[in-house]
Amino acid sequence: MDREGPPLESLTRRLAETPEDFLAEPKCGKAGRIIVPAVVGDLLDLLGSDGGRENLGRFAGKDAADQRRLSVTLLFCWLLADASFRGTNPSSEIVLTLLDATAAELAGQAAPAKLLRDPDRREEMVRLALARLGYRPAGETAAQAQDRLSSISSSERARVVQAARAAEERARAVREALARKAAEESADKWTRE
């Protein structure tokens, strides 16, 4: 997040106004109509990104299980096609990781339609994209951008919930062990008397 990027509001509005073509069903096996590898290849050309064409096969949907991830990939493609990113020459590895791994992470947290309808999820998508490309929203410091991304991140929230559940499970196990020990001590006291 070293460089200042475009304003957050313009990118979240762009996501909210995603055209129907990017909302159409990605081609997975015989179903769907949007060929995602072609869209990703066009995006790489638009950005002036170096190489990466040999890695487009990961965006060829094999079955229905890939559909949600590829739908999020299409949303990221629409976002990154914004004029503010054109010709920025990002590393193709960074862009492909955003379009693949980050899209899969988001797809696991929320349905693509919710990512567009929910203002917090749209903001999360924009902030994730900016952060992965090394940008922060215009008018924010790196610390402010990182703090806001952490506060709205659905994966961070899931991690915190999982940690809280694990802590509660450990506390329950300790309480049960203490109760057993107290019961044993009480039983020992009764047998001595």
Within this chain, do residues 52 and 109 fall inside the same structural domain, yes or no? yes
Per-residue pLDDT, 193: 63
Within this chain, do residues 21 and 61 fall inside the same structural domain, yes or no? yes
Per-residue pLDDT, 46: 92
Within this chain, do residues 121 and 100 fall inside the same structural domain, yes or no? yes
Per-residue pLDDT, 160: 54
Within this chain, do residues 120 and 177 fall inside the same structural domain, yes or no? no
Given a contact cutoff of 8 angstroms between Cβ atoms, the answer to whether 77 and 22 are in contact is: yes
Within this chain, do residues 145 and 91 fall inside the same structural domain, yes or no? yes
Within this chain, do residues 119 and 177 fall inside the same structural domain, yes or no? no
Per-residue pLDDT, 183: 81
Within this chain, do residues 33 and 76 fall inside the same structural domain, yes or no? yes
3-state secondary structure of 139: coil
Within this chain, do residues 21 and 55 fall inside the same structural domain, yes or no? yes
Which residue's structure tokens are 């995602």? 36
Per-residue pLDDT, 156: 57
Per-residue pLDDT, 154: 62
Alpha-carbon dihedral sign for residues 23, 88, 146, 108: positive
Per-residue pLDDT, 51: 72
Per-residue pLDDT, 78: 97
DSSP one-letter string for 20-86: HHHHSPBPBTTB-SB-HHHHHHHHHHHHT-B--GGGGGGGSB-SGGGHHHHHHHHHHHHHHTSGGGT
Given a contact cutoff of 8 angstroms between Cβ atoms, the answer to whether 25 and 31 are in contact is: yes
Domain extent for 140: 3-152
- Could you tell me which residues come within 8 angstroms of residue 162 by beta carbon, excluding any fewer than 6 positions away? none
Within this chain, do residues 76 and 100 fall inside the same structural domain, yes or no? yes
Reference 39, options 62, 16, 71, 63; nearest CA is 71
- Could you tell me which residues come within 8 angstroms of residue 103 by beta carbon, excluding any fewer than 6 positions away? 69, 70, 72, 73, 75, 76
* Residue 18 burial (10 A CB sphere; 0-12, 13-18, 19+): middle
Within this chain, do residues 10 and 31 fall inside the same structural domain, yes or no? yes
**Local confidence pLDDT in tens for the 193 residues of the chain:** 688 999 999 999 999 999 999 999 999 888 889 999 999 999 999 998 877 778 898 999 888 778 999 999 999 999 999 999 987 888 889 999 999 999 999 998 888 989 899 999 999 999 999 999 999 999 998 888 888 888 877 655 556 556 677 778 888 888 888 888 888 887 777 776 6
The number of domains in the chain is: 2
Within this chain, do residues 105 and 193 fall inside the same structural domain, yes or no? no
Within this chain, do residues 190 and 134 fall inside the same structural domain, yes or no? no
The phi and psi torsions of 29 (rounded to 5 degrees) equal 70, -125
SS3 percent helix, strand, coil of the chain, rounded to 5, is 75, 5, 20
